[in-house]
Amino acid sequence: MHAQFGSFAKRMARASGHPAAFLIAAAMVLAWAVSGPLFHFSDAWQLAINTCTSVVTFLMVFLIQHTQNRDTGALQVKLDELIRATSGAHVALLDLEELEEGELERVRANYRRLAAAAREARRSGTLDTKCPEVEEVDVEDHPRRRPRA
């Protein structure tokens, strides 16, 4: 069922992002607006557009979130592969998105210090193209962490 939903969500996300989908939606809103005088701009007339837009928005949130989760996961795997394949890269940085927020903040702070030192060196005329050593990334293996496939 997950694969079927994934396939459906991908198709719907692509279709809803197509210019034709926008034109259809705009035409529907225009038809609704033009029909206002026929319905004397009644509460039911207003309720129709409010209900339609609410339902469509509600469903699209789930489709977009699924597509975004999938794309983000694929991007993380690609970044992990670049780290893994880069000579001198710290492979302890693989799968950082699975860390607890406190652990991730410690890693970020380490890189902020490196960036600040590089900017300072740059201001004094030193090149910032070297690959400085980073503090050891000490991350315990959490039960919540899952291995990458």
DSSP classification of residue 18: S
Q: What is the pTM of this model?
A: 0.64
| 26 vs 4: CA distance, rounded Å | 30
Indicate the domain borders of the chain. 2-91, 99-132
Q: Give per-residue pLDDT as tens, 103-115.
A: 999 999 999 998 9
3-state secondary structure of 131: coil
Count of other CB atoms within 10 angstroms of residue 106: 15
3-state secondary structure of 21: helix
Q: Give per-residue pLDDT as tens, 44-54.
A: 999 999 999 99
DSSP string, 41-106: T-HHHHHHHHHHHHHHHHHHHHHHHHHHHHHHHHHHHHHHHHHHHSTT--GGGTTGGGS-HHHHHH
144: pLDDT confidence band, cut at 50, 70 and 90?
very low
Under a CB-based contact definition with an 8 Å cutoff, are residues 99 and 107 in contact? yes
Q: Give per-residue pLDDT as tens, 24-61.
A: 999 999 999 999 999 999 999 999 999 999 999 999 99
